[in-house]
Structure formats: C-alpha cells, structure tokens
Structure 1
C-alpha cells in the first residue's frame, strides 16, 4: 500500500506543469521583495477574478525568489520565480548629490541632442519623451526657484556683508528641500535612470556587463533544472538587458532537448538605448534575437503607458530588421479595455503605477494575463501561437544609427 501511494504521488508530480521564471527588473533601487509582494497581492486578486487558485511560499537558496503553486484550467502548476537582482548597481549610480545630478542633466542632454537621437525619439513616440523631458524641466525649474529664493534672501538681509553667504545658503536649502520631496516627484530618480543609459552613449557599463554574465549563468542553470519552460521576463530598462543576455546565451549554445525558452518583455523603452551611437552591441543583439528559432519573444506594451514606447517593434524602429525577422510578437495590453471604466478612472493619471500594470490584476482580462503566463499550464509559444501582431504596431526605422557590432 505504501509503495502504491508513493507511485501515485510521483504520477501527480509528473502531471504538474513546471516552469522557471527569471525576472529582470527595470532601473529600480528598491530590494527585490517588493516584487514578491506585488506578485502575492495582485496574483490573489487576479485568481479571484479569473477563477483559478494561486499560492506563494518561500523559495530556498542563495538567490532571491519564491515558489508558486497554482491550479489553472484543471491542471496543477509549479513555478519557481527568481529575481535577477541589479538594484545594488542602481543604488550606486544614484549616489550623487544635488550638484552631481545637475552635471548628469547637462551630460545626458548633450548625448541625446548632439547625437540626433532626441529628435528621432520625439518623432517616434511623444509620450515617453515627455516622461524623459520631465526630470530635465523640473530640475531647471527647481534651480530657478532656488535662485529666486536666494536673491530674495539677499534683498531682505539686514547685513550686507553676509548677503552672498545667506543667498547661497537659502538657494541650497531650497534645492535640498526639493530633493527630499523626490519620493513623490521622481525627478532625481528618472534623471539617474536616463543618465545610466546615456552616459556611455549606449554602451553597457562594465559593472552591468559583469552582472549580465551572472544572469546568463542563472538562466543556463534553469535550463538544466528539468522544467518544461524557462521564462525570462524583462520590465522597462530590464528589457534591453534581457535582449543582450539571451542573445549571448543562445550564441554560446543551448542544451540539447532542453525546455522551451521564452522571453516576455513588458513596458519596453529600448529605443532610448538603441538609438544612441554607441549601442552597436544592443542593435546586433536585437537583430540576432529577432531571427532565432530557439526562443519565443513576446513584447507587451500599452498606449496608455506613457513611460514605454508602446507598440514599437524595437528591432524594426532601430533599423536592424532583416527579411529573416520572426520576433518579437508585438501586442497591446489595452489598459482601456482590460480595466473597467471605474478602475481606469482611478489609475489613468497615476503614470508610474500604470508602468507596472503589466504585472498587476486586470478586472476585465483579455488574452494577456501575467499570472497565467508565469504560473499557468501553457507555454508562451502555445498561448500566443494564433495571436496576430497588433495592427497599429510601428515598424518604420527611426534610429539615426543602425550599425551593429
């Protein structure tokens, strides 16, 4: 009897769909546990809406992640999610004071203007470029307010011999006050985000290249773990990192008879990097990955997300598409349709929150369901095998630089 129960248990284990998910965050200085909490709360809400079960439990090991057990469409699913962490690099790049941030503003503006990339990006999509100009404009306005405050202090000061010191102190205190408000304004955060990409002219920083090599090793370990699918998810700035990591991985060679390899890209802003003169490596990786049979690549954006280059085929607009291109499948999450009117009215002006909606619950879900993709019994290729690209996707080349390494 014991042996029979043991065989039955093994049969149930073989019947479960098993997946490894490796998540690459965007430019985010916060610890990875925030993504676990987002998955836990939003996954529970989506499961209640869509009628399936989803539970999380801790994941052992040195790297950060969690395990998911789900029951979807009558089948058990076991998914292991791992966050590929680079938040420490983000924190290091943000460790600049007020003066350093203004220097970054000048250098970043020069890179985009002098290269001609800024004007091409504005023609491609105005929404994300408004988001890109927002920190620059706010920093200039903050500086003007600080200078006016300093001038006012000088004008009313009763001791002329300390006018200059008083004015400078008031101006600096005003700038510091604005910096302390950045948790609400996101001015310094966004400025450092754009500068991280721009300062090398599109070349990955050496510290990031080292971390990307580690990411490749984690994905390769997942491919050897006996699961049925390895799904790499990239969000925002993590998207173009994922492109280069997977391109290098496939060039090195995948294990024979390995699991399905899938790439889900959410809220991409690839042109911000690929349009820069030094981004030859990224453009080569885009072209290479777009022609690969070894991977399924789905790109999900939404026109309502002002922080992403929505419905832009990143390979085509970067000018590196060939006749052999097969990926990505560009589709829309259609926030105005997949969110109820009440929910949409609540979120439509929360621009930063909308940029994370791809990983949240939809109360009117369509064929895009983040939690069924990551913890459902169907591979990314099978789920979207009959899905056509969005008719409004943009494929016209816009990049001023199209050479590839």
Structure 2
C-alpha cells in the first residue's frame, strides 16, 4: 500500500474499492493482446442459400485456414433455429486456444420469399426498383464513388433490355415469315422465356432482380419480420456485453449484410448508449460492403442516421475492408463521408488485394467469376495476408490489432502456428506485459 493512502471500510469505502477492482479488471481485459473466447454475429449478403449449405461452405473453407496457418481448428455440429444458425469453433496453436461462438443471422427464408415469386411479379417489381433507385439519385452516386458499381447496378437491366430487343426481332421475323401477328407474338414470348430461363438464370438475372427489389423494400421499411429479427439480435448483443463471458464480440457484415450489421448495432446503441465502454471488446468488421448501395439513396435517411451514430460511438471499433477487383464493393471510399455525414475517422479503411489471398493458379481460375471473387472475403485464404476471414473469427489476436497492423496476423503467428507475442501476468495488475512466446 502506498504511504498516506486512506482506506475506509464503511459503505462508501467498500463501494469505491469494488469500483476500483472493476476498473482494473476492465482495463486488463481491454489491453490484453490475446483472445480466448469470441462471440461472432455473422450477417451474410444477398445469397439465398440454406443454413446447411452455409455451414458446409464454412467447414470446407476452415480446412484452408488450418493449412495456411498451421493450426488446429474444428467446428461443432450445426444448430438451426428460426432466425439463427449456430455452431462453435475451437482453434488451437502451440501456445493459444480460442473458442468462437458463431451465430449466423438467418434471412435466407426472407430471400426465398422473393425467389418464389412468379416472373410476372418479379419483372415489374424489378423495373420499379430500378426506377426508384435512379430517381433516388443512386446512379449518379455510384458513378461518382465507384464506376464499377454503377455498371453492376445497370447490368441486370441492360441484360433484360438485350433480351427484350432480341425477342422483339424474333417476333417480327416470325410474323413476317408466317404472315400472322399472333404467331409473331407467340414467337416473341417464347423467345423471351427461353432467354430468361437459359442465359438469364446462368447470368443470375432473377437473383439480381430480387436483390434490388429487396433493397428497395429495406429502404421503405416494409418487412416487419426482418425488423423483428434485427431487434432480437440487438438485444442479444446487449445481453452478451453485460454477461462479460467472452473477450470479444464481433459483428461481421459481408456485402449487403454490412448494412444489416450497422443497423443492428445502431439498435443496440439506442437501447444501451454506453455499450462497448465496459466489458468485452465490441468490434464491427465490414468486408466487401454494400453500405453505399443503400446509403446513397435519398430515402435511406434511417441508414444514414445509423451510420452517423455508430461511427461516433467510442464503444465500438469499426474496420471496413475493400478490394479493387471486387466490383460489388466500393473501393477506397469512406461510407460515412460519401453519405454526406461528418467524417469521424471511423471506419478505418483497409484496402486489400484478393489476388494475394490465393495461390496464382487458384486466382487465375476464379478471377473472372465476379461472385466468387466477392465471396473471397468470407472464404479461407491459401496465403497469409493482412486480411483473413477465419483469423478474424477464430484467431487469438483482437480484430482491432489485426486491422491496425500492416500485415494483420501474419507478423504475429510463426510457421508452426505459434503466437509470437503472448500475454503474461504482470506485477502491476493494471497493466499487461507483452513477452516473446517461446
């Protein structure tokens, strides 16, 4: 005890003592460079596949993680609920162990609802979505921030236009040849159906239409079931932060899922403004983000408000990973600034190269598949790079430490999967000593 310290054992003295202990433990937890447990809420993009398929993909890509980082990692059995799919991952190195509670936010059934709609409904609703987004100023916004994304937006509608023109020529040719307008109309309709069911499906035209129809619905707040699920996850985040049973709570948003992740976190902050200031680290990771897809629409005021609040909150660390070769994200852009909001320094922007995540031969095979390139943000890497999806979810280093390092975890994990720098007890409990892990 330091000389001159006055310790009182009354009620106020005990209260202050308890608060001091809490502050010390909290500081120790915040400054510790090693994660032992992590809770992950994963928000996927517009990819209407079942939780079983998502789990199978995850387990398959986990094999790459083990090989690339020379670690042991295994996933538990899949548990599927109405609004969540859950599994646990246990990862080990020679001197570290991490248990990850992985929770996949389910909205595949919501997407399936759009996919089951008939063509006669999907086409006019898709055209309505196009008109709504153009009128909302997004085409100019996309062209201003990332011309590649502007082309991605126009792609399904240009493809539809080509199909309509080709079908019209087929109808005219059939009418002239047969001398019957009815036969011409029938030929045109059949040609369009053939294009739609053949090249159209191969080119993901129905899914692209559904994506934009859903995006318009999200902006107009017309899906009460989605709203309910987002509220439920926000409450779970608050409960997990209060329980303090994990070292890190990580929200991961890929593609359009980045919008949902920001939305959920904002809902959590509206209920608990000081969320993240105590207890586990709170981290938001967005990768291949489509935030500006929604945020640049004039009617997306709710999302812009959420962006402003999340970016100003001191309780959360936010990093946004972007890649030039991914045409479905916005490269070298600050989503907060581009939405016309006051910049806050959050998120920190990290640009990565997908070509460096894969071996040259593997990258040559997938580089022309735009969807596959986009999904590398949630796939296993074949090479150690600054960005690694599985290392963020399953590795021993805090996500913030990985994001702020030029090499990510690559400079902290040796060839045998050993963590080079590990936390050790210190004489001063308010500090954490960093020692070389031998």
Q: Which moved more, 1:371-380 or 1:91-100?
A: 91-100
Counterpart in the other structure of 1:296: 317
Match among 277, 292, 297 for residue 271 of structure 1: 292
Q: Which runs of 5+ in 2 are unaligned?
A: 1-33, 409-438
- Provide the rounded CA distance (Å) in 2 between the counterparts of 1:319 and 1:388: 32
Match among 300, 305, 314 for residue 284 of structure 1: 305
Instruction: Report matched runs for 1:361-400 at 5 Å.
Output: 361-386=380-405
Instruction: Report matched runs for 1:2-17 at 5 Å.
Output: 17=36
- Provide the rounded CA distance (Å) in 2 between the counterparts of 1:41 and 1:61: 19
Instruction: Report matched runs for 1:98-177 at 5 Å.
Output: 98-157=119-178, 163-177=180-194
- Provide the rounded CA distance (Å) in 1 between the counterparts of 2:306 and 2:375: 25
User: Could you say if the C-alpha distance between residues 59 and 101 of structure 1 is closer, same or farther in structure 2, counting changes exceeding 3 Å?
Assistant: closer
Structure number with greater Rg is 2
- Provide the rounded CA distance (Å) in 1 between the counterparts of 2:221 and 2:45: 14
Counterpart in the other structure of 2:64: 45
Calculate the aligned-residue CA RMSD, in Å.
2.4
User: By how many angstroms is 1:289 displaced?
Assistant: 0.7
2:118 matches 1:97: yes
2:361 matches 1:339: no
Counterpart in the other structure of 1:399: none
Counterpart in the other structure of 1:357: 376
> Is the CA contact (8 Å cut-off) linking 2:136 and 2:299 kept in structure 1?
no
2:270 matches 1:251: yes
CA deviation vs aligned residue, 1:381-403 (integer Å, no higher than 9, x gap): 233345599xxxxxxxxxxxxxx
User: By how many angstroms is 1:256 displaced?
Assistant: 7.7
Q: Which moved more, 1:63-72 or 1:166-175?
A: 166-175
Q: Which moved more, 1:127-136 or 1:98-107?
A: 98-107
User: By how many angstroms is 1:274 displaced?
Assistant: 0.8
- Provide the rounded CA distance (Å) in 2 between the counterparts of 1:55 and 1:199: 38
> Is the CA contact (8 Å cut-off) linking 2:35 and 2:395 kept in structure 1?
no
- Provide the rounded CA distance (Å) in 2 between the counterparts of 1:228 and 1:374: 12
Secondary structure, in 3 states, of the residue corresponding to 1:42?
helix
2:109 matches 1:88: yes
Match among 306, 331, 339 for residue 310 of structure 1: 331
* Aligned residue-pair number: 368
User: By how many angstroms is 1:150 displaced?
Assistant: 2.4
- Provide the rounded CA distance (Å) in 2 between the counterparts of 1:107 and 1:174: 23
Instruction: Report matched runs for 1:25-40 at 5 Å.
Output: 25-40=44-59
- Provide the rounded CA distance (Å) in 1 between the counterparts of 2:203 and 2:365: 19
Instruction: Report matched runs for 1:59-70 at 5 Å.
Output: 59-60=78-79, 62=81, 63-70=84-91
Q: Which runs of 5+ in 1 are unaligned?
A: 1-14, 390-405
Q: Which moved more, 1:68-77 or 1:19-28?
A: 68-77
- Provide the rounded CA distance (Å) in 1 between the counterparts of 2:332 and 2:203: 27
> Is the CA contact (8 Å cut-off) linking 1:333 and 1:358 kept in structure 2?
no
- Provide the rounded CA distance (Å) in 1 between the counterparts of 2:402 and 2:138: 36
User: By how many angstroms is 1:336 displaced?
Assistant: 2.8
User: Could you say if the C-alpha distance between residues 260 and 359 of structure 1 is closer, same or farther in structure 2, counting changes exceeding 3 Å?
Assistant: same
User: By how many angstroms is 1:303 displaced?
Assistant: 0.5
Q: Which moved more, 1:236-245 or 1:213-222?
A: 213-222
- Provide the rounded CA distance (Å) in 2 between the counterparts of 1:21 and 1:180: 38
CA deviation vs aligned residue, 1:230-284 (integer Å, no higher than 9, x gap): 1111111111111111011012113884321111111112112111111111111
CA deviation vs aligned residue, 1:338-374 (integer Å, no higher than 9, x gap): 3333222222111010010011122232121111110
User: Could you say if the C-alpha distance between residues 135 and 255 of structure 1 is closer, same or farther in structure 2, counting changes exceeding 3 Å?
Assistant: closer
2:236 matches 1:215: no
Secondary structure, in 3 states, of the residue corresponding to 1:140?
helix
User: Could you say if the C-alpha distance between residues 125 and 329 of structure 1 is closer, same or farther in structure 2, counting changes exceeding 3 Å?
Assistant: same
